[in-house]
Amino acid sequence: MGSVGAKDVPVLLTPEGRRIDGRKLDELRPIRIQAGPLHQADGSAFVEWGANKVMAAVYGPREVHPRHLQQNNKAVIQCRYNMAAFSVDERKRPGLDRRSQEISKVIAEAFESVVFAEEYPRTSIDVYIEVLQANAGTRCAGLVAASVALADAGIPMVDLLPAVAVGKVAGQIALDLKKEEDNFGEADLPMALVPQSGRLVLLQMEGHMTPEELSRALDLGVAGCTVIYGKMKQALRDRYATTELAGGAA
């Protein structure tokens, strides 16, 4: 959301209410989720969401590194979100910057509220999120991928965590912003929730919304999460249906 000259701002919303990629305000980008693509990890998932491509891998419960993070009464959930240097148009400086650290922290905290960590004291559940191609909404895509990867690893949880960002574009509340909308829009509100209870476990906001807009944005986000939740469950069903068939044929 940098300041740019008016001539540089693309048309974000047509008079007919269509967005830069033709979507309606309440429409998600296409999402494809694959559970279990990495065979060495305990659990994994690959998410293609619009132009985002994100891989998540889960290892554990396993020995804690570094050792001093070990907790006697529960597992520690360690999360590392990373954007590949080639994931954006201009080469990103490789390595963990402050943004990656912040995203890693909020995602770990979201999982802490759903994973039954007390079942695995003195262990670590390590969640790796690698963004291979980025086009806004990568923390949500990463969270969705990691959540399916945790389920694939057999980690007991209250539920899967669907996530989506809602924003404000050309004065309108819009679901699932893509890059230009994130850059030139007025607000960005990523969220993740526990579907059964509707409890929000991640909520951040950049930009400005009125209380009334915020309320509509939350409703739109919840509706988006419901759709994403269905796709997450389907990905896991597909994975285990295939495994059963393969096992049966062997």
212 sits near ligand ADP (criterion: CB under 6 A): no
55 sits near ligand ADP (criterion: CB under 6 A): no
**110 vs 134, beta carbon nearer ligand ADP:** 134
Q: How far is the CB of 112 from ligand ADP (least distance, A)?
A: 19
Segment near ligand ADP (CB under 6 A), from 28-36, 64-72, 131-139, 222-230?
A: 131-139
Segment near ligand ADP (CB under 6 A), from 5-13, 85-93, 113-121, 228-236?
A: 85-93
The candidate with the shortest Cα–Cα distance to 202, out of 151, 155, 165, is 165
168 sits near ligand ADP (criterion: CB under 6 A): no
Segment near ligand ADP (CB under 6 A), from 14-22, 25-33, 42-50, 134-142?
A: 134-142
82 sits near ligand ADP (criterion: CB under 6 A): no
Answer for which of 23, 139, 168, 239 binds ligand ADP (CB under 6 A) is 139
Residues 172-201 that bind ligand ADP (CB under 6 A): 179, 182, 188, 190
Segment near ligand ADP (CB under 6 A), from 23-31, 64-72, 136-144, 153-161?
A: 136-144
Q: How far is the CB of 53 from ligand ADP (least distance, A)?
A: 11
Answer for which of 43, 60, 137, 162 binds ligand ADP (CB under 6 A) is 137
Residue type, 45: A
CA 102 distance to own-chain centroid = 14
8 sits near ligand ADP (criterion: CB under 6 A): no
- 3-state SS string over the chain? CCCCCHHHCCCCECCCCCECCCCCCCCCCCEEEEECCCCCCCEEEEEEECCEEEEEEEEEEECCCCHHHCCCCCCEEEEEEEECCCCCCCCCCCCCCHHHHHHHHHHHHHHHCCECHHHCCCCEEEEEEEEEECCCCHHHHHHHHHHHHHHHCCCCECCCCCEEEEEEECCEEEECCCHHHHHHCCEEEEEEEECCCCEEEEECCEECCCHHHHHHHHHHHHHHHHHHHHHHHHHHHHHHHHHHHHHHHC
Q: Write out the residues near ligand ADP by the rule CB under 6 A.
A: 88, 90, 92, 99, 134-139, 179, 182, 188, 190
